[in-house]
Amino acid sequence: MKILAILYSGGEAARQEPRLLGTTENQLGIREWIEKQGHEFIVSEDKEGPDSVFQKHIVDAEVLITTPFHPGYLTADLISKAKNLKICITAGVGSDHIDLNAAVERGIEVLEVSGSNVVSVAEHVVMSILLLVRNFVPAHEMIERGDWQVSEVARNAYDLEGKVVGTIGAGRIGFRVLQRLRPFDCKELLYYDYAPLPEHAAKEINARRVEDLKEFVSQCDVVTVNCPLHEGTRGLVNAELLSHFKKGAWLVNTARGAICDRDAVAAALKSGQLSGYSGDVWNVQPAPKDHIWRTMKNPLGGGNGMVPHYSGTTLDAQARYAAGTKSILENYLANSPQEPQNVIVGRKGYETKAYGQR
């Protein structure tokens, strides 16, 4: 059987650091195991265009392994050409790079390693909230430049204590973000999600649900986005919704770049409607060199906490999603049942409610 994996090239770093398992060099640590069983394992980062390794091998691969960090975009068109494809495994969390509706139609299973990096992301969100609210990046850049003008950075630095923080999406990550914010004594923790938190979970973090999105954002000093990308969330944070944000709010998005409208966010930051935008996800990955989110700033020259997509790919997370990928593959090869929480699309359609209300 042909197993195709689209991973990112880790270069020198991956040769020096074998725990960078999600790279083309270290191949999730499963090459030997796969080949011992007589299967073919094609691994590449080459994913764009009809001559790419991805598009050449997808036509007869039975298993596709992809990572959200360097997504091989499996469109409906490619699915129609992938005659042999039975299962897509996401080494990580977030399968929006696969046309899930087309997978449902063809009966192709889609699985994720649910939970594998949710703590990694939640920690990154808490860090991003703090670095925006405290105006950390411009302060650090000032030090590197050799300058020392405390008032220049203090003029836009605040405490997180006493602020209202809300998450769009209160699943594994959103819940963990609010849970980690408890000791900061925020004024209130809010969430917006069509699925209410179980009573004990809402009680544990003392979070209030707001059912109308505009009302929700208008109450938050900080909004963090933690829902999957699907038809109902693409472009959700657009110019119209941003106009309902509190003036000068901070926005953190580690979910998916395309949930926030690129130009509307840049304009809101430039005008000061947003004081800051931070995250690690982009509408196209890798992000082009001239992507406006790389350099956009608020009127005081700060408010940008963007990094490449790495919040969910710490070395700890890589160990977990590599082991999880192997376990899903093991179940598939042995025709054993999969862990229910990992199944996004099963043989009979969607098995999760997280990718939209249907």
Active site positions, annotated: 117, 256, 285, 309
In whole angstroms, the minimum distance from the beta carbon of 322 to ligand NAI comes to 15
21 labeled binding residue: no
In whole angstroms, the minimum distance from the beta carbon of 301 to ligand NAI comes to 26
| Closest CB to ligand NAI among residues 153, 165 | 165
In whole angstroms, the minimum distance from the beta carbon of 111 to ligand NAI comes to 13
- Are the beta carbons of 197 and 169 closer than 8 angstroms? no
| Closest CB to ligand NAI among residues 125, 139 | 125
Which residues, 6+ apart, have CB-to-CB distance to 119 below 8 Å? 176
34 labeled binding residue: no
231 labeled binding residue: yes
| Closest CB to ligand NAI among residues 157, 201 | 201
| Closest CB to ligand NAI among residues 213, 333 | 213
∠ CA(131), CA(132), CA(133), 5° rounding? 95
38 labeled binding residue: no
Q: Which residues bind ligand NAI (CB under 6 A)?
A: 92-94, 117-118, 121, 168-174, 192-195, 226-229, 232-233, 254-256, 280-281, 309, 311-312, 354, 356
Ranked by CB distance to ligand NAI, the top (closest) residue is 171
In whole angstroms, the minimum distance from the beta carbon of 43 to ligand NAI comes to 21
30 labeled binding residue: no
Q: Whole-angstrom Cα distance, residue 129 to residue 278?
A: 8
Q: What are the binding residues for substrate?
A: 93, 117
Q: What are the binding residues for NAD(+)?
A: 172-173, 193, 228-232, 254, 280, 309-312
